[in-house]
Amino acid sequence: RTAAQKPEDVIKKYMEEMRVIPDEDCMICMERLSSPSGYDSPEGCGQALQPSTVGKFTKCGHTLHMLCMLAMYNNGNKDGSLQCPSCKTIYGEKTGTQPKGKMEIYSIPQSLPGHPDCSTIQIIYNIPPGIQGPEHPNPGQPYTCRGFPRFGFLPDNDKGRKVLELLKVAWMRRLIFTVGTSNTTGEPDTVVWNEIHHKTEMMSNVSGHGYPDPNYLDNVLAELAAQGVTEDCLKR
Ligand code: NAD
Ligand code: ZN
Ligand code: ZN
């Protein structure tokens, strides 16, 4: 885990200042890039970033007011990573706001519907209630944890084991759950699934989050990749 970096240094790490301003709109404030950003330079940042400064992302090449991007970064969990608002390319290591808890892995000898040739991996997530931190919607207020322990099931084949390894990375990066309002129950300040779908039923499919589903492993690999969790994370 990298030490906390100054927000303006994170912006400068992944965006380079443009000398010729393109004739385009800023994706964040929707003003022309040739007009200044509505955001002011932060205190103590010196002259480095001005409202007129336009930056270009190093990999995807999208352009924005650098102070607009700084404001977006400061609005998030300030983990040293950036995400291009145009194409969603992630720079650095995106982390989430999942509260403390446990992830455990078990083996079940039965097969899942649709995967008759292998046994089953069971993931058990347990998160106890606690107090929201500064990264959560209502810092200092409690959060509840409904329906824990929660289960996830995967086929114990090559692709399923790869998904499991990537889910472990996502867990370490706090991306599996978040604190917010449940779509299912409407309850606020509670722990909910984030953007990475799990199969929570093994032999039934009452919720629609069960098997068989021939597209599931590919879909969850795409959801992991959208959070910056890819096979590259396993090679390091
Ligand atoms: P949510 O309803 O806010 O939805 C967040 C994401 O989780 C969405 O992408 C949604 O598609 C997905 N999701 C919804 N239901 C799911 C399910 N059964 N299995 C797997 N993914 C599901 O998320 P939430 O508040 O975390 O609720 C998700 C599920 O958790 C509920 O449907 C319910 O099965 C369970 N839950 C149980 C209790 C309980 O007291 N037993 C309470 C709350 C939620
Ligand atoms: Zn802007
Ligand atoms: Zn981009």
Residue 198 CA: nearest ligand 1 atom is 20
Pocket of ligand 1 (CB under 6 A): 146-147, 182-185, 192-193, 197-198, 200, 207, 209
Nearest to 49 by CA among 37, 32, 34, 66: 66
Residue 182 CA: nearest ligand 1 atom is 3
Which residue's alpha carbon is at the smallest distance from atom 29 of ligand 1?
184
65 contacts: CB under 8 Å, gap ≥ 6: 26, 28, 29, 31, 33, 36, 37, 39, 51, 53, 54, 55
Nearest ligand, CA 151: 1
Give the span between the Cα atoms of 152 and 148, in whole angstroms: 12
State the residue for tokens 């090559």. 158
Would you state the structure tokens that stand for residue 28, as one six-digit string? 């964040």
pLDDT score recorded for residue 1 = 45
Task: Grade residue 48 by pLDDT with cuts at 50, 70 and 90.
Answer: confident
Q: What is the pTM of this model?
A: 0.90
Mean residue pLDDT across the chain:
95
C-alpha of residue 167 to centroid of ligand 2, in Å: 35
Residue 190 CA: nearest ligand 1 atom is 25
Per-residue pLDDT, averaged over 139-166, amounts to 98
Task: Tell me the sheet residues that pair with 115.
Answer: 112
pLDDT in tens, 107-129: 999 999 999 999 999 999 999 99
pLDDT score recorded for residue 46 = 65
Peptide bond into 113 cis (omega under 30): no
ipTM (interface pTM): 0.90
Give the span between the Cα atoms of 9 and 171, in whole angstroms: 27
Nearest ligand, CA 59: 3
Would you state the structure tokens that stand for residue 54, as one six-digit string? 């336009």
Nearest ligand, CA 39: 2
Give the span between the Cα atoms of 39 and 178, in whole angstroms: 29
pLDDT in tens, 72-112: 999 988 999 999 999 999 999 999 999 999 999 999 999 99
Note the helical H segments in the chain: 7-14, 66-75, 158-172, 216-226, 232-235
Would you state the structure tokens that stand for residue 169, as one six-digit string? 């990375």
pLDDT in tens, 2-44: 567 899 999 999 999 999 999 999 999 999 999 999 998 887 7
Residue 146 CA: nearest ligand 1 atom is 42
The sign of the dihedral angle between the CA atoms of 75, 94, 63, 67 is positive
Are 141 and 209 in contact by the 8 Å Cβ rule? The answer is no
Residue type (1 letter), 38: G
Which residue's alpha carbon is at the smallest distance from atom 18 of ligand 1?
207
**What is the best residue among 182, 184, 192 to mutate for testing ligand 1's pocket, by most ligand atoms within 8 Å of CB?**
184
Per-residue pLDDT, averaged over 182-187, amounts to 97
